[in-house]
A and B are shown apart, each in its own frame.
Chain A
Amino acid sequence: MSAADPSAAAPAAAADPDGPDAVRLTWNAWPRSKVEASRCVVPLAATVSPARVPDRSTAAPPPLPYLPLRCKPPCSALLNPFARVDFAAKIWICPLCFSRNHFPPHYAAISESNVPAELFPQCSTVEYIVGGAPGAPGAAGAPPPPVFLFVIDTCVIEEELEYVKMAMRKAVALLPEHALVGLVTFGTQVHLHELGFSDLSKIYVFRGTKEISKEQILDQLGLTGAGRSGFPKIPQQPGGPQVNGMHPAATAGVNRFLLPVSECECTLSTLLDELQSDQWPVEAGNRAMRCTGVALSVAAGLLGACMPGTGARIIALLGGPCTEGPGMIVSKDLSEPVRSHKDLDKDAAPHFQKAVKFYDGLAKQLVSQGHVLDVFASALDQVGLAEMKVAIERTGGLVVLSESFGHSVFKDSFKRIFEGGEQSLGLSFNGTIEINCSKDIKVQGIIGPCTSLEKKGAVCADTVVGQGNTTAWKMCGLDRNTSLTVFFDVSPSERSSQPGHQNPHLYIQFVTSYQHPEGQMRIRVTTICRKWVDGSTNTEELVEGFDQETAAVVLARYISLKMEMEEEFDATRWLDRSLIRLCSRFGDYRKDDPSSFSLHSNFSLFPQFMFNLRRSQFVQVFNNSPDETAYFRMLLNRESVTNSVAMIQPSLISFSFDSPPSPVFLDVASIAADRILLLDAYFSVVIFHGMTIAQWRNMGYQNQPEHEQFAQLLQSPHEEAQMIIKGRFPVPRLVVCDQHGSQARFLLAKLNPSATYNSAHDVAPGSDIIFTDDVSFQVFCEHLQRLAVQS
């Protein structure tokens, strides 16, 4: 067996692989029993992108300006195209629970020729506007403005700070006029800037060493009881200090710290101009004192006081590790290195658990307030993403890791979050996702940027994966790309297994309510229908319904979780065994005859995915810092299947004079002197010039009119790369390199080592070798075949 031709997958990816529902399942046909399900090896799971904006090509119905109909509790599923409708009786039957529901009076006009949009078959996904928009039913005044609270690290060198300022100025200019902005800067201490004070620059200073509760922050800011009109007031604590403000009437509460951009642009720009690196001295041999934890606490506390329940983001720009106070990941003494994976494994990271606990608490607070934590870490050193992961992921925050605030990975990504229009991320707030499904299906949990709302229900499975034991999850922040992985379990009940009553279809409904970027609250309902597969022998149907990309991604997410949760978890071994079991079950072979082994085309790419997953940053964590690992995993968990596949198995496109740009094997053998290769590994995009190409380029042929074609050849991978970069967040790192150049490692590391220094003799001229002892895909497959066919 050989790797499937990569070009086969390419056209599929070009279309919208997620379909109008933005739901992909590992298996599109489900076995009916638990035993059968476990024999499938790859878990029953769905990835869902609840806020995905369908391609323009898909004619999505406009949002419906009325409230959806719900089935009677406890089902509470929403009316959907799969419901059976009795137009005469004005009754609909819920496909999930088979309950009969009467249409309410305002649906009186319903008839076969006049059906509401949510019953159109193509409207398996439909949105309702339920409030917030002006004039819309149920609207409660103007939609709340978006809130951005910036948290800026000032323990950075002057140069970095200048980059930050530049980025901030751009961001402020891009913000909508009515957006509320706040600013926290921190170093040794936390500075909360009161933007609504015009006389001079007024700053509240919090010490970096002391953990400070939300209540204390509010008391100290004089925000106790100073709720914003229209929002529930926090009851004034008896005996608490009075409002701490100079012009209480004018600047109480929110107006002091969070101001519409239109009102504070000037103040902000002055502030940015005058912002200095942290003034506290750093002793020789020490790290700067950086109190990231307290800064985030203060930011969270402020938002909690001013904006509970309204969408708001804390955007943290971090330039180094937290060295004091809660959330500290390393002491200030430089002789103590920042924890590595080895330290974590050996439990030799003294601050790790404490910091994680702190961020866990912060996550809980943010989730209860409905606020998002975004982290932009730009440092050569680690900043503590591994510890912060919990807070970022639970709140659905964005995360970007780069080396410097001057690097385009930071600069362009940062800009992206404020940009509107076509490329906008569609940042939404305050999402809640509920899952309803047919009776025999249980939900084990979700991996992805969300938090369990701990709403138990009948659909909760006994085993839990990720955020489980609930039927509803909170997504404080979500955007067009946000993707969740839902793990299901099959547990047939007595009644449903009665012959004759068996429904051949299963239904799963995802109900997401969220604050749309435009401010309105929307409910989005996606109902999917899939087939049950009867009996244990009918693998054909199962095979037909297998989605190998989704399966690979789900497995990657699943083992990432296991690696984090389970000590001594051997991911490689677990993957190998799973793959062997899968191949044993679904491959075609004669027992004990490896050469007879073959796989259905639905499985053909899967071994390759697994091979690359084994070698990927998700499994081989020791090549990376804990921060990087956390970063990779967070993105893996929140990205769409297509993007996640790129993380696991990068795509490689070849550009040459001979042929049009075409995908080539992710193999060292693809390297050729007269080729340009474009590698998309999601986090990085590498343009790799073959030796000859590089020479020509260095000689400047591209500048000569007679070699215009060469110029085009040089240009086209760049254009392609820009396409990729433009559509991606975080912006990938673009590496342009030449064969044998030092940067070439970005490509070589991802390639199948079919030619190593051990096999250097049979390398084609112009190609390359990789200095590694890793096994090549070839060897991997041979082993797989042998083991899969063993009886």
Chain B
Amino acid sequence: MQVSRAAGPPFAGPPGSGPAPSSAIRAPQGPPPGARPFPGSPPPPSQPSPPFARPGAPLQQQSPPQFGGPPPAMASQPQRPGFGGLPSGPPPQVQRAPFGGPPSGVSPQAPPFGGPPAAVASRSAPLSGPPAAASYQPAPPAAVPQRSPFGGPPAAASAQPPPIGGGPFTAAQAPPFGGPPGSVPQTAPTGGLRPFGGPSAPSQQVQFGAPPPFGGPSAVQPGAQPPPFGASQSQAPPFMGPAGGNVPPSFAPPMWQGQGAVPGGMQPSMRMPVMPGGMPPNALGQGMSHASTPTMPYSPHAQVSTPSKIDPNQIPRPVQETSVIIFETRQGGQAAIPPAASSEFIVKDTGNCNPRLMRCTMNQIPCTGDLLTTSGMPLALLVQPFALPHPSEEPIQLVDFGEMGPIRCSRCKAYINPFMKFIDQGKHFICNLCGFSNDTPREYFCHLGPDGRRRDADERPELCRGSVEFVATKEFLVRDPMPAVYFFLIDVSMNAVNTGATAAACSAISQALSDLPEGPRTMVGIGTFDSAIHFYSLRRAQQQPLMLIVPDIQDVYTPLQTDLILPISECHENLEQLLESIPVMFENNRIADSAFGAAMKASFLAMKSTGGKLLVFQSVLPSVGIGSLSAREAEGRSNTSTGDKEAHKLLQPVDKTLKTMAQEFAEYQVCVDVFLSTQSYVDIASISVVPNTTGGRVYYYYPFSALSDPAKLYNDLRWNISRPQGFEAVMRVRCSQGLQVQDYFGNFCKRVPTDIDLPVIDSDKAIMVTFKHDDKLQENSECAFQCALLYTTVFGQRRIRVINLSLSCTNMLSSLFRYADLETQFTYVVKQAANGIPSLPLSQVRDQVTSTCINILQSYRKYCASVSSSGQLILPEALKLLPLYTLALTKSVGLRNDGRLDDRSYWVSIVSSVSVLLAIPLVFPRMIALHDLTSRDDDDSLVPSPLTLNSENIHDDGIYLLENGEDGFIYVGNSVNPLTLEQIFGVSSLAGLPNQLVLEPFDNELSRKVNEVVNEIRRQRCSYLRLRLCKKGDPSGDFFRSLLVEDKAPGGLSYVEFLVHVHRQIQSKMT
């Protein structure tokens, strides 16, 4: 049977549970919202106007030409003066050049941002996009933003797939395997049926599907579609593709809420439209009586003897989600089940936090530790406190309690939140975390309404919103909030200069300077190093900057107390000049040594008084000075006898030097990001300790290409400094009594058991918090989690971001499975695996990963599946992709046997802070075909549906892109039509393909599409993919094929084989 991906009712499984690649979440291109009402969905809302601001987004959309395209920036620079009629006053930065005729959608909104509050104005200005954008104006909706246009088919949240195509599945559609357990014959499915259509157990459909709680709103949304421009919240990732790296960015820096100088400066038009009344409350929690159990109906015997009987087309695979979901975090007094992290959704905060900010591995909390243990599942939160909101979401509101400071529980110091219960006419309130009864401060007193809530509850964000920010009072300040300090440190040793890495770094910094937050509190400094450390003092009215060399790299110091780090406004020009001259100045440098550790330390000393971001551009193995490293890799290779057993030792930091240094950095609020543009082993295992401890990350460009990498370097840097972030942060997660925080995982420094210190926390960083029971929770009560993050905005305001999540408690194992959050759980597994890599042999880590999967499935099989299904591999609906993901994980760069040490260390280092959204693609990449982009039917999304990751989908005449959020591998078959080659790459033959790929836009439809797609993916991933060309027959082609996780590989099973393996393991455990 074939269920074509494109045709017919879309795979009707509970889409939410799949890791629907976000490509699915594309706005409808053409028809305005409302044009595609779904059967059974509520009528479109009455508001005709576009409720959802998708401000800047479309404009950003318009910039694609620059994305990796020709450097329009060149042109745009001269434009600066030329464009007179800016809507906004601020001096345009290159790409901010206003254009004369803003799209209709833009003009009304632009002024608000163009207006005074300087910070906002300047930031929003870019949203107006470059002139090129004008071409898109006619169809603004088409240009709907990157992330999640509304109006897609209603993506059902979580487990409730709206009955697309009208109601429940018809019998014909119902996959035979999806039927009630055991009801399906074990024979191969007949044609037209999808035996593995994992989703859609009819019973489940019935149970949950009936009231489409989320489907409704989502269906509505499209109607409310027209994007209001000018909303400042667009998180537009600044990934813009200046080819060659010298192209100025065409993307505006993200405008993010809450940090702006004008908090809450939201457009009314952006507000969530009022949900049509009568929405049925979330049906979650209703009868689990017929636990849905998608099953895999084949017998073990069949499996063993003829595994081929499993139809590879029918096994569970992620489903592409194409619609936008509107998600209310709480409905009917209960937590709603959040949509899959990878789906596109718009959140309305009704008491619980936006799941982007914080989500739990399970949406109901087991009452006892035993129950949790039985389930085999982890209990953990993934917190991403600065996660980019959907452009249409309301920003987090800022609450200022003045002198009094935020109301807190006097016992556990938890912050006031919607779940604190006011009693006694409001005179007291009971802390939902510790149960303590507090007196209500007089200033905060308010009478209770008839419903027992405070009368002002709906007016006070802290009483009705899951996430809120408080202005910090003096008691939260140990010193004045720090300025935004950026110190750039560049390797200028011989190799760095010769490979072009130095020039690339200088150019990237130079361009990125204009993306630094504006204002008097933004400070910059710069240093270079080889076997000595060079600082530059730029406060010079006189001719030249001063270069100060610190030659003692064993015991470093800062050469000046002041003048090394200056307000950007005072030194911008000097800095640009200096950056221009650095590559020339060191052109003939013959010093091969690089004092990375010492240079960091010295820079740290220069920043010590304020803290800030230290961005290090390193190109070779640090060979001298403090924290110097040796080529352990070579040593590891040479004595292979011990090599295998102790191989993982090489993935541990070589010693404690850098760790100690990093802890000191963290203590003084210095965050280190390391950009490694190298062509050799640099011992990332040791180096990564520093960024990982200080809230930064490693960027890795290997092998560095002066041709193709500068653009990525620049975009990475730009995003690094312009994304939403906070400084000198301290975070603590509190939870209800009965649970306790077990541990924190992520990039931070922990000095006391309860808090973690984050010199910088940005929108890409996630922190995992694990919990354990220390008592029982009451069934039917709620278990609360509160994450409090005290931080300083880039504009120097001290705030506390409080994120609340309150979930029901349950004693039912089946509920745990039903409300399991696959992606979050799997992210947990990935992080645990990464954690284990440096300390265990790889095979052991892989075994652990596999057994985690098996244990969960076995628990489900044992306790939740009906007896009759004993012969089948039964997968809980919510976790049906767990085996696939697990398989992918064992084949990932981090866990595969072959592969360079640095690659593995790098993988480990990025996993440590990766968010749920990006963790899945990292191990389970997305593959799309590029060659037929023009010919394929125009479905709703810009990015075509992903192909299954097996080699059957790879044809010799095709060109494919496989991306994991970090890298993009473009595979070119052997017999590709030369015309296609010409169109995409500008070369006429395979032989003419360059090894170092720079994807340039050419003047043809296909090239445009390819660039659009790539740019779209870049936006989705907040990452400028590192594109690499893979050719069949080449090692690069072999590598590409090794990423096809469903294939059988030398070191791993095929997907089908793996399922068989898992099933067999469960069987043997059961008996």
Chain A interface residues toward B at CB < 8 A: 188-189, 191, 197, 199-207, 210, 212, 216, 220-222, 241-249, 270, 273-274, 279-281
Q: Are A241 and B581 in contact (CB under 8 A)?
A: no
Shortest Cβ distance from residue B610 to the other chain A in the assembled complex, whole angstroms: 15
Instruction: Provide the bound-state CA to CA distance between A246 and B547, in Å.
Output: 13
Name 8 extra pairs, CB < 8 A, besides A241-B624, A270-B543.
Answer: A189-B559, A191-B548, A200-B546, A202-B547, A203-B559, A205-B550, A222-B531, A274-B540
Residues of chain A contacted by B581 (CB below 8 angstroms): 199-200
Residues of chain A contacted by B550 (CB below 8 angstroms): 205
Q: Beyond A201-B547, A207-B557, A279-B560, is A241–B590 a contact (Cβ under 8 Å)? A: no
Q: Beyond A200-B544, A242-B590, is A221–B561 a contact (Cβ under 8 Å)? A: no
B interface secondary structure, majority:
loop
Shortest Cβ distance from residue B926 to the other chain A in the assembled complex, whole angstroms: 47
Q: Beyond A248-B590, A274-B540, A279-B560, is A242–B549 a contact (Cβ under 8 Å)? A: no
The listed residue (B548, B559, B586, B592) touching A242 by CB distance below 8 A is B592
Q: Are A201 and B544 in contact (CB under 8 A)?
A: yes
User: Could you give 5 example pairs across A and B, Cβ below 8 Å?
Assistant: A204-B548, A242-B592, A243-B591, A270-B543, A281-B561
Q: Are A204 and B549 in contact (CB under 8 A)?
A: yes
Smallest CB gap from A188: residue in B? B561
Residues of chain B contacted by A210 (CB below 8 angstroms): 552, 555
Q: Are B589 and A246 in contact (CB under 8 A)?
A: yes
Shortest Cβ distance from residue A203 to the other chain B in the assembled complex, whole angstroms: 5
Shortest Cβ distance from residue B536 to the other chain A in the assembled complex, whole angstroms: 8
Q: Are B559 and A274 in contact (CB under 8 A)?
A: no
Instruction: Provide the bound-state CA to CA distance between A95 and B592, in Å.
Output: 65
Instruction: Provide the bound-state CA to CA distance between A206 and B543, in Å.
Output: 24
Shortest Cβ distance from residue A376 to the other chain B in the assembled complex, whole angstroms: 25
Residues of chain A contacted by B563 (CB below 8 angstroms): 279
Residues of chain B contacted by A189 (CB below 8 angstroms): 557, 559
Q: Are A203 and B547 in contact (CB under 8 A)?
A: yes
Asked if B551 is at the interface (CB within 8 A of a chain A CB), the reply is yes
The listed residue (B532, B546, B552, B584) touching A216 by CB distance below 8 A is B552
Asked if B542 is at the interface (CB within 8 A of a chain A CB), the reply is yes
Q: Are B586 and A246 in contact (CB under 8 A)?
A: yes
Shortest Cβ distance from residue A713 to the other chain B in the assembled complex, whole angstroms: 52
Shortest Cβ distance from residue A246 to the other chain B in the assembled complex, whole angstroms: 6
Our count of residue pairs bridging A and B at CB distance below 8 angstroms stands at 96
Shortest Cβ distance from residue B755 to the other chain A in the assembled complex, whole angstroms: 32
Q: Are A244 and B547 in contact (CB under 8 A)?
A: no
Instruction: Provide the bound-state CA to CA distance between A206 and B585, in Å.
Output: 22
Shortest Cβ distance from residue B594 to the other chain A in the assembled complex, whole angstroms: 11
Instruction: Provide the bound-state CA to CA distance between A456 and B535, in Å.
Output: 52
Q: Are A244 and B562 in contact (CB under 8 A)?
A: no
Q: Which 6 A-B pairs have the closest CB atoms?
A: A220-B551, A205-B559, A200-B544, A202-B547, A204-B549, A207-B557
Q: Beyond A189-B559, A220-B532, A242-B531, is A200–B545 a contact (Cβ under 8 Å)? A: yes
Q: Beyond A270-B543, A273-B542, A274-B540, is A205–B590 a contact (Cβ under 8 Å)? A: no
Instruction: Provide the bound-state CA to CA distance between A685 and B588, in Å.
Output: 59
Q: Are A242 and B591 in contact (CB under 8 A)?
A: yes
Q: Beyond A203-B546, A203-B547, A204-B551, is A243–B590 a contact (Cβ under 8 Å)? A: yes
Asked if B394 is at the interface (CB within 8 A of a chain A CB), the reply is no
Q: Beyond A241-B624, A242-B593, A244-B591, is A201–B546 a contact (Cβ under 8 Å)? A: yes
Number of residues of chain B lying within 8 A (CB) of chain A: 36
Smallest CB gap from B578: residue in A? A200
Q: Are B588 and A203 in contact (CB under 8 A)?
A: no
Residues of chain B contacted by A220 (CB below 8 angstroms): 532, 551-552
Smallest CB gap from A202: residue in B? B547
Q: Beyond A199-B585, A221-B551, is A270–B542 a contact (Cβ under 8 Å)? A: yes
Q: Are A246 and B544 in contact (CB under 8 A)?
A: no
Residues of chain B contacted by A280 (CB below 8 angstroms): 560-561
Instruction: Provide the bound-state CA to CA distance between A542 and B905, in Å.
Output: 93
Chain B interface residues toward A at CB < 8 A: 530-532, 535-536, 540, 542-552, 555, 557, 559-563, 578, 581, 584-586, 588-593, 624
Q: Beyond A270-B542, A273-B542, is A246–B551 a contact (Cβ under 8 Å)? A: no
Q: Beyond A242-B591, A274-B540, A281-B561, is A201–B545 a contact (Cβ under 8 Å)? A: yes
Residues of chain B contacted by A244 (CB below 8 angstroms): 530-532, 551, 591
Residues of chain B contacted by A247 (CB below 8 angstroms): 588
Q: Are B557 and A246 in contact (CB under 8 A)?
A: no
Instruction: Provide the bound-state CA to CA distance between A249 and B589, in Å.
Output: 10
Instruction: Provide the bound-state CA to CA distance between A375 and B906, in Å.
Output: 57
Smallest CB gap from A217: residue in B? B551
**Which of B535, B545, B552, B581 gathers the greatest number of chain A CB atoms within 10 Å?**
B552
Shortest Cβ distance from residue B391 to the other chain A in the assembled complex, whole angstroms: 45
Smallest CB gap from B541: residue in A? A274
Residues of chain A contacted by B540 (CB below 8 angstroms): 274
Smallest CB gap from B547: residue in A? A202
Shortest Cβ distance from residue A518 to the other chain B in the assembled complex, whole angstroms: 37
Q: Are B593 and A241 in contact (CB under 8 A)?
A: yes
Instruction: Provide the bound-state CA to CA distance between A249 and B587, in Å.
Output: 13
Smallest CB gap from A249: residue in B? B588
Smallest CB gap from B555: residue in A? A210
Instruction: Provide the bound-state CA to CA distance between A220 and B557, in Å.
Output: 14
Instruction: Provide the bound-state CA to CA distance between A180 and B32, in Å.
Output: 80
Shortest Cβ distance from residue B628 to the other chain A in the assembled complex, whole angstroms: 11
Instruction: Provide the bound-state CA to CA distance between A244 and B551, in Å.
Output: 9
Instruction: Provide the bound-state CA to CA distance between A81 and B593, in Å.
Output: 64
Q: Beyond A199-B581, A241-B531, A246-B586, is A205–B561 a contact (Cβ under 8 Å)? A: no
The listed residue (B557, B562, B578, B590) touching A279 by CB distance below 8 A is B562
Residues of chain B contacted by A191 (CB below 8 angstroms): 548, 559
Q: Are A200 and B547 in contact (CB under 8 A)?
A: yes
Residues of chain A contacted by B555 (CB below 8 angstroms): 207, 210
Q: Are A246 and B531 in contact (CB under 8 A)?
A: no
Instruction: Provide the bound-state CA to CA distance between A445 and B586, in Å.
Output: 55
Q: Are B545 and A206 in contact (CB under 8 A)?
A: no
Instruction: Provide the bound-state CA to CA distance between A247 and B561, in Å.
Output: 29
Residues of chain B contacted by A245 (CB below 8 angstroms): 590-591
Q: Are A274 and B542 in contact (CB under 8 A)?
A: yes
Q: Are B585 and A246 in contact (CB under 8 A)?
A: yes
Instruction: Provide the bound-state CA to CA distance between A406 and B589, in Å.
Output: 43
Shortest Cβ distance from residue B574 to the other chain A in the assembled complex, whole angstroms: 10
Instruction: Provide the bound-state CA to CA distance between A371 and B271, in Å.
Output: 80
Shortest Cβ distance from residue B362 to the other chain A in the assembled complex, whole angstroms: 55
Smallest CB gap from A250: residue in B? B588
Smallest CB gap from B625: residue in A? A241
Shortest Cβ distance from residue A253 to the other chain B in the assembled complex, whole angstroms: 14
Instruction: Provide the bound-state CA to CA distance between A378 and B535, in Å.
Output: 31
Smallest CB gap from B560: residue in A? A279
Residues of chain B contacted by A279 (CB below 8 angstroms): 560-563
Instruction: Provide the bound-state CA to CA distance between A220 and B531, in Å.
Output: 9
Smallest CB gap from A242: residue in B? B591
Residues of chain B contacted by A204 (CB below 8 angstroms): 532, 548-549, 551
Shortest Cβ distance from residue A254 to the other chain B in the assembled complex, whole angstroms: 17
Residues of chain A contacted by B584 (CB below 8 angstroms): 199
Instruction: Provide the bound-state CA to CA distance between A203 and B550, in Å.
Output: 9
Instruction: Provide the bound-state CA to CA distance between A665 and B578, in Å.
Output: 70
Instruction: Provide the bound-state CA to CA distance between A199 and B551, in Å.
Output: 19
Instruction: Provide the bound-state CA to CA distance between A247 and B550, in Å.
Output: 18
Shortest Cβ distance from residue A280 to the other chain B in the assembled complex, whole angstroms: 5
The listed residue (B552, B590, B624) touching A206 by CB distance below 8 A is B552
Shortest Cβ distance from residue B815 to the other chain A in the assembled complex, whole angstroms: 63
Instruction: Provide the bound-state CA to CA distance between A212 and B581, in Å.
Output: 32
Q: Beyond A243-B590, A273-B542, is A206–B551 a contact (Cβ under 8 Å)? A: yes
Smallest CB gap from B559: residue in A? A205
Instruction: Provide the bound-state CA to CA distance between A245 and B551, in Å.
Output: 11
Residues of chain A contacted by B589 (CB below 8 angstroms): 246
Instruction: Provide the bound-state CA to CA distance between A216 and B561, in Å.
Output: 24
Instruction: Provide the bound-state CA to CA distance between A108 and B584, in Å.
Output: 67
Residues of chain A contacted by B536 (CB below 8 angstroms): 200
Smallest CB gap from B586: residue in A? A246
Smallest CB gap from B602: residue in A? A205
Smallest CB gap from B540: residue in A? A274
